[in-house]
Amino acid sequence: MSKEPDRLFAQPLPQVPDFAFNEDVVRVFPDMIKRSVPGYPTIVENLGVLAAQFAQPNSVLYDLGSSLGAVTQALRRHVRTDGCRVIAVDNSAAMVERCREYLNGQDSMFQELLPVEVIEGDILALQFQPASVVALNFTLQFVAPDERLALLGRIRQSLLPGGALILSEKLRFNDPEEHALLTDLHIAFKRANGYSELEIAQKRSAIENVMKPDSLEEHRERLLAAGFSKVVPWFQCLNFASLIALP
């Protein structure tokens, strides 16, 4: 994985463009996400551990919005169920190209790894195959809000009995005090990870039009409306959380 430090917002920009998962972001993405999302390494590793409990023989495991394949790699480290294969999907050509390079590197070293197919495409247009695990790790927040319910409905329909959706998201909070406190603490987390006030402010304006977080209550209600029977939060660090949704 690239070790290039994220300095994308370090210099004053005359106009901050909307955030996009382009070549520049791809180069620094492992550093950016680790320094921006509290608990990210814990979430990714344990997503693999959780997935191993839900994986059903001869089924598909989806990594939706796979970026550089961190979740796919965690699935490969933990899932030992017979006949499983991973389908990783992302609509950023730059992400997909680099993701394929990383995974091909792994393939050539370890023959026993789960087979992986990396698809460049829109998860909103995906024809889902019967799946036991679907991971949406910080991806749904980038999907247009009015498309989220239909997508979750299609995921629910594809899930096999005994399977699960694992959904990680940045949260907003209906209580203004709770929202302000956790937002401030997230900024403190970024500062502690070496981001300047300028970097934090410019990143915020870059993502505010493209990333629309929901509250935990909105997630729960929408998942139930999509046909899931149970929603269980398993991780929260500041304003970032991960949920298990059962079919």
Ligand X SMILES: O=C(O)C(=O)C[C@]1(C(=O)O)C=C[C@@H](O)C=C1
Ligand Y SMILES: C[S@@+](CC[C@H](N)C(=O)[O-])C[C@H]1O[C@@H](n2cnc3c(N)ncnc32)[C@H](O)[C@@H]1O
**215 assigned binding-site residue:** no
d(CA 247, CA 241): 20
Q: Which is nearer to ligand Y, 84 or 166 (CB)?
A: 166
Residue among 32, 41, 106, 36 at smallest CA distance from 76: 106
**67 assigned binding-site residue:** yes
Question: Which of ligand Y, ligand X, none is residue 36 near (CB under 5 to 8 Å by kind)?
Answer: ligand X
> Which two tokens mark 194?
């070496």
Considering only residues 174 through 203, tell me which ones interact with ligand X, judged by CB under 6 A. Answer: 203
Q: Are 137 and 47 in contact (CB under 8 A)?
A: yes
Residue 206 as a binder of ligand X (CB under 6 A): the answer is no
Q: Which residue has the tokens 């961190």?
A: 70
Residue 87 as a binder of ligand Y (CB under 6 A): the answer is no
Partnered with residue 133 across adjacent β-strands are 61, 164
Where b means 16+ CB within 10 Å and e means fewer, 134-170 reads bbbbbbbbebeeeebeebbebbbebbbeebbbbbbbb
CB of 203 to ligand Y, least distance (A): 13
CB of 34 to ligand Y, least distance (A): 10
Residue 122 as a binder of ligand Y (CB under 6 A): the answer is yes
Binder of ligand X out of 37, 43, 134, 243 (CB under 6 A): 37
Q: Which stretch binds ligand Y (CB under 6 A): 3-11, 83-91, 106-114, 198-206?
A: 83-91
How many residues touch ligand Y (CB under 6 A)? Answer: 21
Q: How many residues comprise the chain?
A: 247
Question: Which of ligand X, ligand Y, none is residue 44 near (CB under 5 to 8 Å by kind)?
Answer: ligand Y
Q: Which stretch binds ligand X (CB under 6 A): 31-39, 69-77, 88-96, 114-122?
A: 31-39
What is the edge-to-edge ordering of all strands in the sheet holding 230-237? 116-120, 85-90, 60-64, 131-137, 159-170, 240-246, 230-237
d(CA 224, CA 227): 5
Residue 91 as a binder of ligand Y (CB under 6 A): the answer is yes
CB of 26 to ligand Y, least distance (A): 9
CB of 124 to ligand X, least distance (A): 18
> Which two tokens mark 32?
């950016």
d(CA 17, CA 236): 30
| Sites of contact with ligand X (CB under 6 A) | 32-33, 36-37, 138, 170, 203, 207, 211
**What residues line the site for ligand Y (CB under 6 A)?**
21, 33, 44, 65-67, 70-71, 89-92, 95, 122-124, 137-139, 142-143
Could you tell me which residues are annotated as the binding site for S-adenosyl-L-methionine?
A: 40, 65-67, 90-91, 122-123, 137, 204
